[in-house]
Amino acid sequence: MRDAFSNALVAAAKKDPKVLLLTGDHGYALFDPFRKACPDQYINCGIAEQNMVGVAAGLAKAGFKPVVYGLAAFVPIRVLEQIKIDVCYENLPVTFIGDGAGVVYAQLGTSHQSTEDIAALRGVPQISIYSPGDRFELTACAEHIVRNPGPAYMRMGKADLGDVHRGPIEGWSHGDLIPVTNTGAPYLFIGTGSGLKMAQKAADALGNADVVSAPCLKPFPAKSLRELAKGREAIVTFEEHSIYGGLGGVVAETLMGQYLGTFVRVGIQDQFSSLCGNYSFLMESHGLSSEAVERQIREALNASVQLQD
């Protein structure tokens, strides 16, 4: 997925010399192709993320289209005030990329993990929020951002989980959820980012479930969700983000008063990472291993059946 991001960025910069890449002194290997193809459009702002956002805002007001890259723990979390005041208040065409979202940087501890970035930005006016689940969704999101200038944030999680879609996504707009399967099954599993792969695995294990992707969380495709939710016995959301303020929250808000079936939020509970280890270990410690997710959903479905009886 990171390669797809690099390719999309190079293509955008070649097409438009006003596209600039700003980075906080990291991502060098990732941006080797960009620096080779567009050396004059690359700016290393150093380890000074708040200043980098101010620089991007100034460049945007001068007619440029800055792309600000950082770890999701720093962009947007460290620079939330600057995003709000310098960029969103002015409704400037600045795109923020938060790499390593979720618990990807497992060995580095909570300071380098970001499980609250969507929640932090959802309340800020003007900004769009994207969370692609594979390289094809990332390309579609990047193309959509280019076509629709304005403040935007795109989070990238674990990059090597594999594709969900079989090929490029044609004609997508942020007004749609993307069906992976849509057979009218009794359960609807909705994933965003790396949660899409979780949803797919859970559907394979449990059966009776359709899987759809939510690569855009703001503005959220409410009409598309309401149509897909009709007649479902259970809806489950999957995200590598806090269960508060992310996909689970926005789905609950959207369906409030309409949907009365079983609703399950799979994600990070209200806790920090208290342990260090590799990515798989951290996911397991947060109850997000395939086995733990399957167990959580089964328990919720069984509890619903018992209540009905």
* Integer Cα distance of 10 and 83 in angstroms: 24
Q: For position 65, what pLDDT does the model report?
A: 98
pLDDT 10s digits, 36-78 = 999 999 999 999 999 999 999 999 999 999 999 999 999 999 9
Cis peptide before 17 (omega within 30 of 0): no
Does domain 2-156 correspond to CATH entry 3.20.20.70?
no
Q: For position 2, what pLDDT does the model report?
A: 86
Are 2-156 and 178-308 equal in CATH topology? yes
Share of the chain above pLDDT 70, in %: 98
* Integer Cα distance of 226 and 251 in angstroms: 9
Only one residue has tokens 């935007």, namely: 152
Place 92 in a pLDDT band, splitting at 50, 70 and 90: very high
- Residue 309 reports pLDDT greater than 80: no
- Beta-carbon count within 10 A of 255 CB: 17
Place 304 in a pLDDT band, splitting at 50, 70 and 90: confident
Task: Among 22-26, 76-80, 81-85, name the one with the lowest average pLDDT.
Answer: 22-26
Q: For position 307, what pLDDT does the model report?
A: 56
Place 260 in a pLDDT band, splitting at 50, 70 and 90: confident
Cβ atoms 225, 255 nearer than 8 A: yes
Place 305 in a pLDDT band, splitting at 50, 70 and 90: low
List the 216-218 sheet strands across, edge first: 42-44, 19-23, 65-71, 95-99, 152-156, 128-130, 216-218
Instruction: Mark 169-206 as b/e (b = at least 16 C-beta within 10 Å).
Output: beebebebbbebeeeebebbbbbbbbbbbbbbbbbeeb
Task: Among 87-101, 222-236, 292-306, name the one with the lowest average pLDDT.
Answer: 292-306
Q: For position 175, what pLDDT does the model report?
A: 79
Helix axes 195-206, 290-308, angle to 10 degrees: 60
For the domain covering 178-308, report its CATH number.
3.40.50.920
Would you list the domain boundaries of the chain? 2-156, 178-308
Share of the chain above pLDDT 90, in %: 90
pLDDT 10s digits, 182-199 = 999 999 999 999 999 999
Angle, alpha carbons 237-255-179 (nearest 5°): 50
- Residue 306 reports pLDDT greater than 70: no
Place 173 in a pLDDT band, splitting at 50, 70 and 90: confident
**Nearest by Cα to 196 from 162, 172, 220:** 162
